[in-house]
């Protein structure tokens, strides 16, 4: 089993929950108002994804829905916002097969 990766921010050490896959796929995101916007996914794991968001303002804790290609929408929330990127955590983790299908 893979160990979670370790990241350091100042004096704070955090561990990621899953293995991330680098990607450059698009995802549609709705912040609850029915207005879907396209974003680029930087990386994806079973627990969440990191997106480029330079042109959009997200708030930590904000509830969202994401939609990858032909998949049903996935409920999630914003975990962090930093340097034009946003960390999103899925409410229910994706299966390994779903991640494989999204990143192909």
What are the pLDDT digits (tens) for 12-21? 334 445 666 6
pLDDT in tens, 45-91: 999 999 998 878 899 999 999 999 888 999 999 999 999 999 999 99
C-alpha closest to that of 72 among 38, 28, 32: 28
DSSP 32: S
Q: What confidence score (pLDDT) does residue 15 get?
A: 44
Topology at the third CATH level for domain 21-103:
Thrombin, subunit H (2.40.10)
Q: What confidence score (pLDDT) does residue 56 get?
A: 85
**Positive or negative torsion for Cα 18, 4, 88, 21:** negative
Strand partners, 84: none
């Amino acid at each position: 089993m893979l160990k979670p990766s370790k990241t350091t921010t100042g004096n704070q050490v955090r561990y990621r929950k899953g293995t991330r896959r680098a990607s450059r796929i698009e995802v549609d995101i709705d912040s609850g108002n029915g207005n879907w916007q396209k974003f680029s996914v930087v990386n994806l794991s079973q627990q969440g994804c990191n997106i480029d968001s330079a042109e959009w303002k997200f708030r930590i804790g904000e509830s969202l829905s994401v939609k990858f290609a032909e998949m049903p929408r996935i409920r999630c929330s914003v975990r962090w916002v930093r340097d034009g990127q946003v960390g999103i955590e899925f409410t229910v983790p994706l299966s390994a097969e779903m991640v494989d299908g999204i990143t192909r």
